[in-house]
Amino acid sequence: MAAKANLSETVPDQSAPLDDFEIPGYTFDQFRKAIPRHCFDKSAIRGSVYVLRSLFGFLFLHYVFHRLVTPSMVPSALVSGLLWQLYGFMQGFFMTSWWVLAHECGHGNFSRSRSLSDFVGFIIHSILLVPYFSWQISHAAHHRATSHMERDQNYVPPRRDEYAKKLGVDKEELEHLAAEAPALTALVLVVRQLAALPVYLWTNSTSGDYWRRKKDTERGRKAWFRGLNHFDPRSPLFEGKDKWKIIASDLGVMLMALVLVMMARKYGARSVAFEYFVPWLWSNHWQITIAYLNHTDPSIPHYESSEWTYVRGAATTMDRNAGIIGHYLFHDITHTHVLHHHLSSIPWYHAAEATEAVKGVMGKSYRRTEYVGLGDFIRDMWRVRRVCQWVEGRVNHGELDGIKSEGVLWYRRRAGLLDE
């Protein structure tokens, strides 16, 4: 007879066993004081070097492929097509690199000047068809309420009864009906990786109950799209004072869309698809992967309002090593996300040093993976998707120190993940 797998075996290589997790006992002041003062320094010159480095990589790859992948050099249409797909995949890394830098700009980390940070971030995000100020505002709300079941903006998991209702089954039957289905998991992953970012911008679909209820407020009823839309200045995501920032963000995206239409008319839709949209889709994939894996793991909880604090929420993030690509092109955003959620004002080039400085303060509240490389990073996406389906109070975690309230919710692993 098959026996249930140990949960720590389904997602290996954690920094501590899953039953060794501790709810944070440190204070924000203790966390901040552990970090060397120079880690808070920001330099527009240093920030510009990172932006130009990513731009140079993009342009260099463009030059190499356009010189070498030509009909005379590669006469086979099949081989040429495969090489251009490889081109799109590789350029997706550089687009993701820009996106991460724009994300840092959104936190004011490009320069000591907030205006300069916003200017650079606005340009980069507009090029990537992301409404900069709209995203900046909703992302700040996510940081203020990380892993809060009501108020968080990103990756708020369903409770057990919500998940059962979504599947149209009784919650007591959920264990049996949520059996392992690799084909379904693969389909969900593909759809999510391609569509999740645009869907999030249009619907804010992964937000908590507080934000869903705001759709029914007076402001929500007056919104043009009647939802949590990042392009609508009347959206409940924003306040009246944000109106012109939202409009400016929309204009930036519209201008970039116009540029793409003009390029398609001049160079052909096929060229624009290979040069921009294939890399853009890969960039969306990496953005979603980064955000999902840094916030989703069976070893970290979510909190109801009664148990949530800022420090507890910040510690529910997970550092994952994405190897050389993660360091040089993702700018350590995957390696240092725990620090980032405690103190988003530390620029990316100081984040690794600051992370090392706070590990002693966090103790067993700090979560990270020990593997090295992008392949393991991707495999973890598959494992986490299979394991993390819904949350409920104190399931399969025993009587852990400091975890006594039903207001601390954990992911429930799928019943079909069994040892043979």
Query: What rounded mean pLDDT belongs to the chain?
Result: 84
Q: What is the pLDDT of residue 174?
A: 64
Can you say whether the dihedral through the CA atoms of 281, 282, 284, 285 is positive or negative?
positive
What is the C-alpha to C-alpha distance for residues 279 and 78, in angstroms, rounded to an integer? 19
Find where tokens 């690794």 sit: 352
Q: Structure tokens of 403? A: 């975890």
Q: What is the pLDDT of residue 341?
A: 97
Q: What is the pLDDT of residue 405?
A: 57
The mean-pLDDT minimum among 15-24, 108-117, 211-220 falls in: 15-24
Q: What is the pLDDT of residue 211?
A: 78
Q: Tell me the domain boundaries of the chain.
A: 3-419
Q: What is the pLDDT of residue 184?
A: 61
Q: What is the pLDDT of residue 418?
A: 30
Q: What is the pLDDT of residue 62?
A: 95
pLDDT in tens, 10-47: 333 333 334 466 889 999 999 999 999 999 999 999 99
Average pLDDT (129-142) is 95
| Residue 79 burial by Cβ neighbours in a 10 Å radius (0-12, 13-18, 19+) | exposed
What is the C-alpha to C-alpha distance for residues 321 and 33, in angstroms, rounded to an integer? 25
The mean-pLDDT minimum among 32-36, 151-155, 331-335 falls in: 151-155
What is the C-alpha to C-alpha distance for residues 167 and 121, in angstroms, rounded to an integer? 40
Residue 65 pLDDT grade (very low, low, confident, very high; cuts 50, 70, 90): very high
* Cβ-contact 44, 111 below 8 angstroms: yes
Amino acid at residue number 324: I
Q: What is the pLDDT of residue 378?
A: 80
What is the C-alpha to C-alpha distance for residues 9 and 299, in angstroms, rounded to an integer? 12
The mean-pLDDT minimum among 158-162, 259-263, 277-281 falls in: 158-162
* CB-CB neighbours of 325 under 10 Å: 16
Q: Kindly report the CA angle at 234 between 134 and 98, in degrees rounded to 5? A: 10
Average pLDDT (223-235) is 81
The mean-pLDDT minimum among 165-174, 294-303, 342-351 falls in: 165-174
Can you say whether the dihedral through the CA atoms of 306, 405, 316, 153 is positive or negative?
negative
* CB-CB neighbours of 282 under 10 Å: 22
Q: What is the pLDDT of residue 20?
A: 61
The residue among 139, 129, 135, 154 whose CA lies nearest residue 280 is: 129
Q: If you ran DSSP here, which 8-state letter would residue 43 be given?
A: -
Cα atoms in the Cβ-side hemisphere of radius 13 Å centred on 404: 2
* CB-CB neighbours of 299 under 10 Å: 21
The residue among 22, 35, 12 whose CA lies nearest residue 351 is: 35
Average pLDDT (295-311) is 90
Q: Kindly report the CA angle at 108 between 105 and 109, in degrees rounded to 5? A: 75
| Cα dist from 291 to 11, 38, 115, whole Å | 18, 27, 26
Average pLDDT (63-80) is 91
